[in-house]
Amino acid sequence: MTAGLALDVLLAVALPLVGLAAVLRRDLVQSVMLLFSLGVLLAIAWARLGAPDIAMVEAALGAGVTGVLFLSALARVGPDDAAPRAASVRVALAALAAAAVAPVALAVEALPRAFEGLGREVLARVPETGATHPVTSVLLDFRGYDTLLEIAVLLLAVLGAWAARGGAPSPRPPAPGPILTAAVRLLLPLMVVVAGVLLWVGSSAPGGAFQAGTVLGTTLVLATLSGGVALPRVPPWVVRSMLALGFAVFLAVAGATAASGRALLRYPGAHAAGLLLAIEAALTISIAVVVWALFERDPEERRAEGEAGGREGEAA
């Protein structure tokens, strides 16, 4: 217990410090690296706070997707050569930031030390939902509407990224060395299995579509990056359809529930579990494709490339 508390104190102190370091580092690559390590620390913190679901997502993101996103961006953006601001300015800004968050700290301090929230009520009514894991119940049933819209946000990330890329195909990040290639070859099947398990247990234990999807997606990305595994070339509309699949299924369920005269997203008791699993499965695929699409060229780009006779090497 005391050991636990000691660990908590250590984490609580380390987190802001690592964050500050990430902000202050001159070298952009280093500060991104620090961001990842913060992710790892956070994953531990989530675990300490009894939030294994978040811990898993944090791991999948911080170590996986976000990491690769930042790295591939850095490979194309180049260093931050802006002259550092005068010390006085930086101090002033630091003071400003501190002043901005100080009241929040006060408000937090004022909060009671023990507070139920909705925990008990949620636990009491989980059996009425299609899932047995409370967090999943909240995500897909109590607040399923939020999750539906959240998936739309995820799709928007892809659409926005495609809109932003525009112009000529982006230069690819340098292909990684043979070690990674070999590693990916080994990891690939394993990660697919992991994704499947995560998806399956999601309804009863920590895990679920998002974790599974990100794992699968990261796998796809690594596969493409390493070039060790040639992915089949699919026409753009297939990519877009797979992107939309999860959201479409979720939306269809929503529409059906609403049309059936019941409340929006009120699953019929008997089929609730089945419906949730279907949604989760579809989402897993789409999320994986989303993650992959965030790195891959978008359909227009690929078509242009195809027309250009694949001037730029697609797969090794």
- The answer to whether residues 199 and 164 touch, using CB atoms and an 8 Å cutoff, is no
61 lies in the binding site for another protein (CB under 8 A): yes
> For another protein, which is the closer residue by CB, 111 or 179?
111
CB of 4 vs another protein, minimal distance in Å: 8
Only segment of 15-23, 180-188, 193-201, 226-234 that touches another protein (CB under 8 A): 15-23
117 lies in the binding site for another protein (CB under 8 A): yes
Burial of 37 from C-beta contacts in 10 A (0-12 / 13-18 / 19+): middle
63 lies in the binding site for another protein (CB under 8 A): no
HEC per residue, the chain: CHHHHHHHHHHHHHHHHHHHHHHHCCCHHHHHHHHHHHHHHHHHHHHHCCCHHHHHHHHHHHHHHHHHHHHHHHHHHCCCCCCCCCHHHHHHHHHHHHHHHHHHHHHHHHCCCCCCCCHHHHHHHHHHCCCCCHHHHHHHHHCHHHHHHHHHHHHHHHHHHHHHHCCCCCCCCCCCCHHHHHHHHHHHHHHHHHHHHHHHHCCCCCCCHHHHHHHHHHHHHHHHHHCCCCCCCCCHHHHHHHHHHHHHHHHHHHHHHHHCCCCCCCCCHHHHHHHHHHHHHHHHHHHHHHHHHCCCCCHHHHHHHHHCCCCCCCCC
244 lies in the binding site for another protein (CB under 8 A): yes
Of residues 96-115, those binding another protein (CB under 8 A)? 96-98, 100-101, 103-115
119 lies in the binding site for another protein (CB under 8 A): yes
Among 172, 183, 200, 240, binds another protein (CB under 8 A): 240
Q: How far is residue 279's CA from residue 251's CA, in Å, rounded to a whole number? A: 9
CB of 179 vs another protein, minimal distance in Å: 26
CB of 316 vs another protein, minimal distance in Å: 23
> For another protein, which is the closer residue by CB, 184 or 287?
287
> For another protein, which is the closer residue by CB, 101 or 270?
101
Only segment of 175-183, 197-205, 222-230, 255-263 that touches another protein (CB under 8 A): 255-263
Considering CB under 8 A, how many residues would be counted as binding another protein? 128
86 lies in the binding site for another protein (CB under 8 A): no
Among 40, 87, 170, 220, binds another protein (CB under 8 A): 170
Among 44, 59, 127, 157, binds another protein (CB under 8 A): 157
> For another protein, which is the closer residue by CB, 113 or 177?
113
Contact pattern for another protein over residues 172 through 211, marking x by CB under 8 A: --------------------------------------x-
28 lies in the binding site for another protein (CB under 8 A): yes
Tell how far CA 293 is from the center of its chain. 13
Q: How far is residue 68's CA from residue 295's CA, in Å, rounded to a whole number? A: 9
> For another protein, which is the closer residue by CB, 77 or 190?
77
Only segment of 48-56, 175-183, 196-204, 220-228 that touches another protein (CB under 8 A): 48-56
Of residues 274-313, those binding another protein (CB under 8 A)? 294, 298-301, 303-304
